[in-house]
Amino acid sequence: MYENKTEEVPVKAVLACVDTGEFDAETSIAELAELAGTAGADVVGNIIQKRPAYDPATCMGAGRLEELKEQLGALEAELVIFDHELTGVQVRNIEEILGVRVIDRTTLILDIFAQRARTKEGKLQVELAQQKYRLPRLTGMGTALSRLGGGIGTRGPGETKLETDKRHIRKRISNLEAELEELKKHRSFSRSRRKKDGILCAAIVGYTNVGKSTLLNALTDAGVLAENKLFATLDITSRSIELPDGRSVMLIDTVGLIRRLPHNLVEAFKSTLEEAAAADIILNVQDLSSPEIKEQAQVTSKLLGELGCEGIPQIYVMNKADVAPYTDTVFEDDTTVMISAKERTGFDRLLECIVKNLPETAKRMKLLIPYDKGAFLGKIRQDGKIFSEEYAENGTLIDALVDVKLIKEAESYKV
């Protein structure tokens, strides 16, 4: 968003929405208010206009814009946030009529992303999305972008300022994509290494603000920022925990989802969500206290489908059971569990569900290995994990996590 004057005095903003019946305007503008609050704005009012279609020049009708102008004056607001994607021409025209700064939903989300990104990859993803969004909107904006190079030698014969800016942005986009491709290769290598080393991964996915980071913190004490704001965290965080059967699993937090996430943002952040497609199991976290739980679940399900996550075991983690009004309507089974990440309840059952749904890669067994089978004991030690070991009269008695490829042979030594 645009610069706040100080941390103590947030920008006063009015939200605007044109309801064409394309989506639930009331629900969407309520979410926009949350997004604005996350960005640091003080939402002092909103206006919704029902129209059969958007005005190509100003999005909203002229009469309603005049009404909005009066509202801005009365509320002393200095920013209008539209709940749509606006063209460069629309932004310029609306600003001329209202006399205040105007941004759209995507610009607001990009601003939040820019605030929240901490890692190098997160920052690159944000800038790439910003540049791609800015490029087609240069025409008509009436604002000059600062060029990356100096003026002398950077323009071709007869090249205009607009063409120069576009050329610089295209070059920057190309450089960002190249950097991200290198990081993507590195992450792909890390995933391959995890697979080779037999490390199991569980991706935590879900709508933004359902408690994914709180769950990760509670299970692993990861120390990830967890607050009641949309997009509180953007960067991938992974921590390992031990399951009841002795296996370890890497928990990976992913960026939260929202309704009508702009397409270029989905594309820009797909690489962070690709961890879900490469996971052994998906923890689909849902906010049991939200009246919009069904719609939020649909958003999550649709994106998981786009990422090619079909066939990966899923556990539906119904969070915030401590404040949910109708917990008796939830039927728990091997793939559905109620928890409260905040109160740290339901975790034992969640971990049991993870064990039941993970593909069998190892099995905990009590074995008596004869002394002349020391080589087999060495294989168990190398590929598995030994919890206890004692020497008996006729062999070594162990409590061990046995790798799947050794289970058949181990059965003959089972105690």
Mean pLDDT confidence for 30-45? 88
- Res. 161: pLDDT tops 80: no
Res. 151 pLDDT band, cuts 50 70 90: very low
φ/ψ (deg, to 5) at 8 = -80, -20
State how far the alpha carbon of 364 is from the alpha carbons of 149, 361, 367, 410, in Å. 62, 10, 10, 11
Nearest one of 202, 214, 345, 207 to 286, comparing CA atoms: 207
Query: Looking at 140-154, 201-215, 243-257, which range is the least confident one?
Result: 140-154
Q: Has residue 5 got a pLDDT over 50?
A: no
> Position 177: which residue type?
E
Going by pLDDT thresholds of 50, 70 and 90, the confidence category of residue 160 is low
Helix 263-277 × helix 120-134 angle, to 10°: 150
3-state secondary structure string across the chain: CCCCCCCCCCCEEEEEEEECCCCCHHHHHHHHHHHHHHHCCEEEEEEEEECCCCECCCECCHHHHHHHHHHHHHHCCCEEEECCCCCHHHHHHHHHHHCCEEEEHHHHHHHHHHHHCCCHHHHHHHHHHHHHHHHHHCCCCCCCCCCCCCCCCCCCCCCCHHHHHHHHHHHHHHHHHHHHHHHHHHHHHHHHHHHHCCCEEEEEEEECCCCHHHHHHHHHCCCCCCCCCCCCCCCCEEEEEECCCCCEEEEEECCCECCCCCHHHHHHHHHHHHHHHCCCEEEEEEECCCCCHHHHHHHHHHHHHHCCCCCCCEEEEEECCCCCCCHHHCCCECCEEECECCCCECHHHHHHHHHHHCCCCEEEEEEEECHHHHHHHHHHHHHCEEEEEEEECCEEEEEEEEEHHHHHHHHHHEC
Phi, psi of 380 (to 5 degrees): -60, -45
Q: 115-141 pLDDT, tens per residue?
A: 777 677 778 878 888 888 888 877 655
Residues in the chain: 415
Most confident of 27-41, 104-118, 157-171, 213-227: 27-41
The DSSP bridge pattern shows strands 42-50 and 395-403 to be unpaired
- Any bridge partners for residue 18, and if so which? 49
**What is the widest separation between alpha-carbon atoms in the chain?**
94
pLDDT score of 264 more than 50: yes
Highest mean pLDDT range out of 81-85, 141-145, 151-155? 81-85
Neighbours of 181 (CB within 10 A): 11
Q: Residue 368: pLDDT band by 50, 70, 90 thresholds? A: very high
Give percent above pLDDT 90 in the chain. 30
Domains and CATH numbers, the chain: 12-112 (3.40.50.11060), 117-181 (no CATH), 199-357 (3.40.50.300), 362-413 (no CATH)
Tell whether the model's pLDDT for residue 335 goes beyond 90: yes
